[in-house]
């Protein structure tokens, strides 16, 4: 087991961004970047790359699809970019139409995190940063960490932790994109299983209506392993870029996988185990926004990445039944999600 820390580049204002490479006893490598506390890559000992990432810092500085980022304080969308807490109204950055997406423009994803601790014996690295209300408009000064561990069982474990001096909101996730067939291939050919009998009904702007819908006999049913492309074909849309970007309510036995993404040809898979109540399943090709003719681009470059974002159900601050994302003052909160790589 080894951990290497190297320079990855400097931001325009002179911040030094670091790259961390963790290798386990099997020769598999997990790469991380301090900008956004991001998961950059997972490369097997055989040289197969299974996670999408950028090779240079500029990609992370202009990262519209949050590729690999730690996301927070609140992942997902907040309706009208506002909420009320303890009788006070808070107005956030409206960075997607009138709504707040993934914490806004001054979020976890848009900053250079400190490397707080390198645990060579445990094969883990902890990134840390401090959020203030002046920066992101959420209440309170909140110290937060993300710890990545690569085990010799080929598991990548993420622990998100935070403590705030005031009541605030906290619903973090990882926006890592997988492709178990290998980066650059058609992710629609992968099979997905979700322990999710229901999904959220969304408005056109992806804000929840508050209704949970049964997935049974619909395109949203992944309760048994299903080829993703088959269910995309069943979606009621004629859009050239029809896809899943949807919130699924999880129902699983603790300690068992809530999601499994598999390449049926190689049998490689990643199993997600979590303590969260939902997962956002998103399939896309993150490079699509770089092209004016997006339809032509996607016709030649199909969706190549699958994000499985473990979190509390979207916009929970406006839908109390979705889960509690209020972090009380001076109370430490941790969330754990593990991605176990199989048959690699």
Mark whether 62 is an active-site residue. no
Mark whether 106 is an active-site residue. no
Among candidate residues 23, 191, 271, 309, the one labeled active-site is 309
Phi-psi region of 67 (alpha: psi -120 to 50; beta: other; left: phi over 0): beta
Residue with tokens 């705030």: 164
Among candidate residues 175, 191, 199, 271, the one labeled active-site is 175
Residue 261 has, within 13 A of its CA and on its CB side, a CA count of 28
Q: What secondary structure does DSSP assign to 25-87, as a single string? A: TTS-EEEEETBTTEEEEEE-TT--B-B---SSHHHHHT-TT-TT-EE-SB-SEEGGGEEEETT
Which of these, 179, 293, 198, 191, lies nearest to 246 by C-alpha position? 198
Element (H, E) at 298: helix 294-300
Is residue 246 annotated as involved in ligand binding? no
The span from the CA of 340 to the CA of 154, in Å, is 6
Is residue 177 annotated as involved in ligand binding? yes
Residue with tokens 């622990």: 159
Burial bucket for residue 294 (CB in 10 Å: 0-12, 13-18, 19+): middle
Tokens in use for 137? 């408009």
Q: How many CB atoms lie within 10 A of CB 144?
A: 24
Is residue 170 annotated as involved in ligand binding? no
Tokens in use for 193? 């299983």
SS3 332: coil
Determine the number of helices (DSSP H) and then strands (DSSP E) in the chain.
4, 27
Is residue 176 annotated as involved in ligand binding? yes
SS3 305: strand
By DSSP bridging, strand 82-85 and strand 278-284 are: unpaired
Residues involved in catalysis: 175, 309
Annotated binding site: 175-177, 245
Annotated binding site for beta-D-galactose: 175-177, 245
């Amino acid at each position: 087991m080894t951990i290497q820390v190297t320079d990855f580049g400097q931001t325009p204002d002179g911040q030094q961004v670091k790259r961390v490479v963790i290798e386990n006893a099997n020769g598999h490598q997990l790469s991380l970047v301090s900008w956004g506390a991001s998961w950059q890559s997972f490369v097997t000992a055989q040289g197969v790359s299974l996670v999408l990432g950028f090779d240079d810092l500029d990609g992370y500085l202009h990262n519209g699809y949050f590729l690999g980022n730690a996301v927070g304080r609140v992942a997902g969308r907040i309706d009208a970019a506002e909420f009320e807490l303890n009788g006070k109204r808070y107005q956030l950055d409206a960075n997607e139409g009138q709504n707040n997406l993934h914490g806004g423009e001054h979020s976890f994803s848009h900053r250079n995190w400190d490397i707080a601790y390198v645990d060579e014996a445990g094969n883990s690295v902890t990134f840390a940063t401090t959020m203030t209300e002046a920066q992101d408009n959420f209440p309170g000064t909140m110290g937060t960490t993300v710890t990545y561990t690569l085990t010799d069982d080929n598991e990548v474990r993420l622990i998100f932790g935070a403590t705030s001096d005031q009541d605030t909101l906290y619903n973090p996730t990882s926006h890592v994109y997988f492709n178990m067939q290998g980066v650059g291939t058609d992710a629609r050919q992968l099979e997905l299983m979700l322990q999710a009998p229901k999904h959220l009904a969304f408005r056109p702007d992806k804000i929840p209506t508050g209704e949970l819908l049964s997935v049974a006999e619909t395109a949203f049913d992944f309760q048994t392993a299903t080829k993703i492309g088959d269910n995309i074909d069943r979606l009621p849309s004629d859009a050239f870029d029809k896809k899943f970007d949807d919130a699924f309510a999880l129902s699983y036995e603790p300690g068992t996988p809530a999601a499994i993404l598999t390449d049926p040809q190689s049998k490689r898979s990643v199993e997600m185990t979590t303590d969260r109540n939902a997962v956002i399943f998103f399939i896309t090709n993150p490079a699509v926004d770089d092209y004016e003719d997006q339809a032509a681009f996607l016709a030649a470059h199909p969706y190549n990445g699958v994000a499985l974002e473990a979190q509390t159900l979207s916009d929970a601050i406006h839908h109390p039944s979705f889960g509690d994302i209020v972090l009380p003052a001076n109370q430490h909160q941790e969330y754990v999600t593990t991605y176990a790589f199989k048959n690699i």
